[in-house]
């Protein structure tokens, strides 16, 4: 199942050309002044400026208890890939027993692989990370954190399970306090050990106390009792980290916080986390009408977790992700809806996952992770168009200190990750999709429902001719073709009316030109996909570049 030859091939490739691993999409992010704090719903640095967590999950809690991928690439190469993909942070998972059981903590990587029969992984590890092979597991965990520090990557330590192994099911014994492997005292011991170990390690900015609480024993009384205890325990050992609390029902439900607050002796450090996948709701994205499903599920997510933002707490969406091959309709539809909300609410997040393949998952060797940013060999980005879309969300739209620009709107298009902009092509002005950080993508949305290009007299108009025509800019902005409303159950169609009264929706054509078309999927049809017509009007204070300055 492993492909040992490809390791050698890639190794040769590395020597020849170390720089062509990945395209550099993002300029290096300027390092935040750590530690981090909270200011209402925002996570901020020491200077009070917003730091948006744009993290990727890096799995280190499976049976081998070694950060995945180190049999495929040198540690530093992986860290640099994380940076070049634009992530500023890693949610690094760990198992309680790795720190509380001395014989596990002191086991070497070699021994761990050998005891599981992972001989291909062992050979790959020897090739790529020989200096780590005979170190104890706990030491390798520390080396990973410190290599991420050397690359300016922040780390959130996520206690994923007690007993190492794939997570999560209702009856795996790791789901809730008191379950077979989930002894609360041992858990507290583990948290203390981790927090103490990384006290003073500046790039460790947060600790997720426990992943996806769940199962037959879950209840809110014990949730408050133990989560508050866990939070105090971590804070006592390491006052610098953000303390991150997961909800019930696989971290889909924090609604109980409406009734009762978390009581802690400290403040400015508390963050909540929520998980949201397509499969959280089974197959409904594929079997239902996407507008209805998106509208209904977003409502539900807001009720269960999103309300915390309105209450002034940071909400960290610490797991979401899709099959990046683009072949899963359920996932594809979910993602367009998710990206819309993620841009609008501008929350902090961690993608599942970095992993291209696992040493061993649920007993199977060398399993590919199609939700992973990296490919099977950990050598390239799995899907560069996915990364392109994601990259728009890697920097903040809003929040303290993002810029001193006055708030404006962008018209975000989730299925491309781009925004509606004015573009001048050979002296002709067209409406197209482009970067969300250009002055030509800054709009205001007026009380008359017109969309005006900032600092101009131009408004967005539907061409009142035949359908499929490009949208245009006009100066007489009082007729129906200049009035735009968010319609449909998803509230993601930007719609206006033609003079004859027929409704049209903003859409894109195959060249990414912005056009108007009949609105898609407004009825109950579940076979159609409205993704190309989904937009969000989003608040932004991003500093804008002006790409036309030079030429004009």
Whichever of 101 and 142 has its CB closer to ligand NAG, that residue is 101
If 0-12 CB within 10 Å is exposed, 13-18 middle and 19+ buried, where does residue 111 land? middle
First to last CA, the chain: 58
When the beta carbons of 200 and 465 are compared against ligand NAG, the nearer one is: 200
Burial of 312 (0-12, 13-18, 19+ CB in 10 A): exposed
The smaller minimum CB distance to ligand NAG, of residues 74 and 230, is found at 230
Q: Which are the contacts of 375, defined by CB distance < 8 A and separation ≥ 6? A: 356, 381, 382
Beta carbon of residue 162, minimum distance to ligand NAG (angstroms, whole number)? 10
263: exposed, middle or buried (C-beta count within 10 Å: 0-12, 13-18, 19+)? exposed
Does residue 545 touch ligand NAG according to CB under 6 A? Answer: no
Please confirm whether the linkage preceding 339 is cis (ω < 30° from 0).
Answer: no
By C-beta, is 278 or 309 nearer to ligand NAG?
Answer: 278
CB 353 within 8 Å of CB 372:
yes
Rule CB under 6 A: choose which of 161, 191, 237, 494 binds ligand NAG: 237
Give the three-state DSSP class for 233: helix
Apex CA 268: angle with CA 262 and CA 269, to 5°?
A: 70
| Gap between the Cα atoms of 167 and 175, Å rounded | 9
In the β-sheet with 503-508, what is the strand arrangement from edge to edge? Answer: 485-487, 493-497, 503-508, 514-517
Give the residue carrying structure tokens 């021994």: 111
Question: Nearest approach, Cβ of 192 to ligand NAG (angstroms)?
Answer: 9
By the rule CB under 6 A, 363 interacts with ligand NAG: no
- Distance of alpha carbon 220 from alpha carbon 437, whole angstroms: 43
Smallest gap from residue 260 Cβ to ligand NAG (A): 29
| Distance of alpha carbon 162 from alpha carbon 209, whole angstroms | 12
Residue 386 sits in the site that holds ligand NAG (CB under 6 A): yes
* By the rule CB under 6 A, 383 interacts with ligand NAG: yes
* Residue from 225, 303, 325, 548 in contact with ligand NAG (CB under 6 A): 325
Using the rule CB under 6 A, give the single segment among 378-386, 451-459, 468-476, 543-551 that binds ligand NAG: 378-386
- Residue 122 beta carbon to ligand NAG: minimum distance, rounded to whole angstroms: 18
Q: Which is nearer to ligand NAG, 160 or 380 (CB)?
A: 380
User: CB-based contacts of 148: which residues, under 8 Å, 6+ apart?
Assistant: 79, 82, 90, 92, 154, 155, 203
Alpha carbon distance 506, 128 (integer Å)? 50
CB of 382 to ligand NAG, least distance (A): 7
C-beta closer to ligand NAG: residue 332 or 379: 332
Nearer to ligand NAG, 383 or 516 (CB): 383
Residue 434: CB minimum distance to ligand NAG, A? 19
CB of 381 to ligand NAG, least distance (A): 9
Cis peptide bond upstream of 168, omega within 30: yes
Beta carbon nearer to ligand NAG, 207 or 537:
207
CA nearest neighbour of 264 among 224, 294, 292: 224
Site string for ligand NAG, 66-105 (x = CB under 6 A): -----------------------------------x-xx-
Of the candidates 106, 150, 385, 478, which one interacts with ligand NAG according to CB under 6 A?
385
Select from 117, 326, 407, 518 the one that contacts ligand NAG (CB under 6 A). 326
**CB-wise, 319 or 323, nearer to ligand NAG?**
323
Question: d(Cα 168, Cα 181) in Å, to the nearest integer?
Answer: 13
Taking CB under 6 A as the criterion, which residues in 193-212 touch ligand NAG?
Answer: 196, 199-200
By the rule CB under 6 A, 255 interacts with ligand NAG: no
Min CB(14)–ligand NAG separation in Å = 22
CB of 498 within 8 A of CB of 504? yes
The CA distance from 175 to 160, in Å, is: 10
- Count of residues that bind ligand NAG according to CB under 6 A: 13
Interface with ligand NAG in residues 132-161 (CB under 6 A): none
Question: CB of residue 495 vs ligand NAG: minimum separation in angstroms?
Answer: 25
Shortest Å distance, C-beta 87 to ligand NAG: 18
CB closest to ligand NAG, residue no: 326
Smallest gap from Cβ 126 to ligand NAG, in A, equals: 23
CA atoms 374, 376, 378, 382: torsion sign: negative
Smallest distance from ligand NAG to CB 102, Å? 8
Site for ligand NAG in 104-133 (CB under 6 A): 104
Angle at 160 between CA 157 and CA 165, to 5 degrees: 130
* Closest CB 195 distance from ligand NAG, rounded Å: 8
Residue (416 or 481) nearer to ligand NAG, CB: 416
What does the binding site for ligand NAG look like in residue numbers (CB under 6 A)?
101, 103-104, 196, 199-200, 237, 325-326, 332, 383, 385-386
């Amino acid at each position: 199942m492993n492909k040992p030859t490809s390791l050698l091939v890639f190794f040769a490739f590395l020597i020849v050309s170390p720089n062509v691993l990945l395209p550099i999409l993002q300029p290096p992010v300027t390092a935040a002044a750590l530690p981090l704090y909270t200011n209402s719903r925002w996570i901020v640095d020491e200077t009070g400026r917003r730091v948006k967590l744009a993290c990727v999950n890096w799995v280190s809690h499976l049976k081998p208890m070694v950060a995945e991928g180190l049999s495929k690439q040198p540690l530093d190469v992986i860290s640099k890939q994380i940076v070049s993909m634009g992530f500023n942070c890693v949610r690094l998972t760990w198992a309680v027993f790795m720190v509380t059981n001395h014989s596990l903590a002191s086991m070497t990587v070699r021994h761990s692989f050998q005891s599981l029969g992972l001989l291909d992984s062992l050979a790959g590890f020897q090739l790529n990370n020989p200096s780590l092979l005979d170190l104890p597991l706990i030491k390798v965990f520390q080396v990973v954190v410190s290599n991420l520090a050397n690359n300016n990557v922040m780390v959130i330590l996520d206690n994923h399970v007690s007993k190492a192994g794939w997570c999560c099911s209702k009856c795996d014994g790791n789901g809730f306090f008191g379950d077979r492997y989930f002894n609360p005292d041992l858990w507290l011991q583990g948290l203390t050990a981790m927090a103490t170990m990384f006290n003073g390690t500046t790039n460790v900015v947060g600790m997720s106390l426990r992943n996806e609480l769940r199962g037959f024993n879950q209840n809110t009384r014990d949730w408050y009792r133990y989560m508050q205890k866990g939070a105090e325990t971590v804070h006592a050992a390491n006052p610098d980290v953000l303390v991150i609390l997961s909800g019930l029902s696989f971290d889909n439900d924090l609604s109980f916080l409406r009734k009762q607050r978390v009581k802690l002796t400290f403040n400015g450090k508390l963050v909540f986390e929520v998980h949201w996948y397509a499969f959280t709701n089974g197959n409904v994205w594929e079997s239902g009408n996407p507008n209805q499903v998106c509208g209904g599920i977003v409502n539900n997510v807001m009720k269960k977790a999103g309300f915390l933002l309105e209450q002034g707490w940071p909400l960290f969406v610490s797991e979401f992700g899709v099959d990046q091959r683009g072949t899963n309709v359920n996932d594809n539809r979910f993602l367009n809806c998710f990206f819309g909300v993620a841009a609008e609410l501008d929350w902090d997040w961690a993608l599942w996952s970095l992993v291209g393949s696992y040493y061993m998952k649920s007993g199977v060797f060398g399993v590919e992770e199609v939700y992973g940013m990296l490919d099977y060999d950990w050598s390239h980005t799995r899907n560069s168009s996915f990364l392109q879309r994601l990259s728009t969300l890697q920097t903040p739209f809003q929040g303290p200190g993002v810029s001193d620009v006055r708030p404006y709107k962008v018209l975000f298009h989730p299925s491309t990750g781009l925004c509606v902009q004015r573009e001048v092509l050979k002296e002709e002005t067209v409406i197209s999709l482009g970067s969300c950080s250009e002055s030509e993508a800054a709009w205001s949305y007026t009380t008359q429902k017109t969309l005006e290009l900032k600092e101009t007299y131009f408004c967005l108009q539907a061409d009142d001719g035949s359908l499929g025509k490009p949208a245009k800019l006009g100066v007489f902005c009082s007729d129906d073709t200049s009035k735009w409303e968010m319609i449909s159950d998803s509230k993601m169609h930007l719609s206006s009316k033609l003079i004859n009264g027929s409704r049209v929706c903003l859409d894109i054509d195959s060249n990414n030109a912005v056009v108007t078309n009949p609105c898609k999927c407004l009825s109950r049809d579940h076979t159609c996909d409205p993704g190309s017509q989904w937009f969000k009007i989003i608040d932004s204070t991003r500093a804008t570049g002006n790409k036309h300055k030079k030429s004009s």
